[in-house]
A and B are shown apart, each in its own frame.
Chain A
Amino acid sequence: SQQGEEDPQALSIQEGENATMNCSYKTSINNLQWYRQNSGRGLVHLILIRSNEREKHSGRLRVTLDTSKKSSSLLITASRAADTASYFCATDRRGAGSYQLTFGKGTKLSVIP
C-alpha cells in the first residue's frame, strides 16, 4: 500500500522557474526521502530529512518537513530541462522494519526549455 501521496500528480513549468512538489503521509516516520526517476530508468536518491529536522538543502533542492501535518515539500530552484523526471517521496515508517521504504505515487515534472 502507498504511504505517501504526492501533489500535484503532474507539473509543467518553464526552464528557470521554481518547482514545488508536496508529499503527505499517514503514519509516524523515522525519516522521509525524495527520489528522482528519469523515464525508463531506476530511482536516484536526492535527499533525506529526519523526523527531528524541519528543513534541509542540497544544491538547488530544498526540502521541508512538518511532522505535525504529516507533510513534506520539495522545492527545485532555477529548474533545468534535465530536471524533467518523476519525483517520489518515500517514508521510513516507525515500527515497519528498519530501512524499509514506502513510496508515494510520484509527481511527474516537465521542464520546458
Chain B
Amino acid sequence: EAGVVQSPRYKIIEKKQPVAFWCNPISGHNTLYWYLQNLGQGPELLIRYENEEAVDDSQLPKDRFSAERLKGVDSTLKIQPAELGDSAVYLCASSYLISNEQFFGPGTRLTVL
C-alpha cells in the first residue's frame, strides 16, 4: 500500500512569491490534514478535511494561505505571497474518518529567502 505522497520535497522561493504544495493521501482515507512544523517543534494543525469539506481551518492564516481538496482525494495548500516566517516543513497526513491513527507524508521543506 502506498503511503501519503507529497510534492515537492523541497522548495526555495523568494519572499512575496507564491508557492503550492500537493498531497495525495492513502487510498480510502476520508480525512486529510495539513500541518506546519517549525524547526525543533512538533507539528501544528493548519487545516483538516473530511472528504472535500474543510471542517477545521481555524489555524489557517487566511490572508495568505488557502487550501482545497477537490473530489475529496488530493489536496493543495497554497501560500501567496510567501513571507520569510513561512520557512518550515509542511506535512500532510491522512486517516480513516473514525480512526485516531494518522499517516504522515515526508513533508515539503520550504525555504523563503
Hey, which bits of chain A sit against chain B, CB under 8 A? 2, 4, 31, 33, 35, 40-45, 48, 88, 90, 92, 97, 99-106
Contacts and interface: CB of A to CB of B under 8 A. Distances in A.
Contacts of B104: 35, 42-44
B59 to A, nearest CB: 9
Given A42-B105, A99-B48, A105-B41, 9 more contacts: A4-B42, A31-B100, A35-B104, A41-B106, A41-B107, A45-B103, A88-B43, A100-B48, A103-B43
B97 to A, nearest CB: 8
Nearest to A104: B42
A44 B91 CA distance: 12
B101 interface: yes
B2 to A, nearest CB: 13
Q: Main secondary structure on chain A at its contact with chain B?
A: strand
Contacts, number: 59
A103 B42 contact: yes
Interface in B13-67: 31, 40-45, 48, 55-56
Contact of A103 (B4, B44, B48, B56): B44
Nearest to A4: B42
A108 B102 CA distance: 21
A65 to B, nearest CB: 14
A102 B56 CA distance: 13
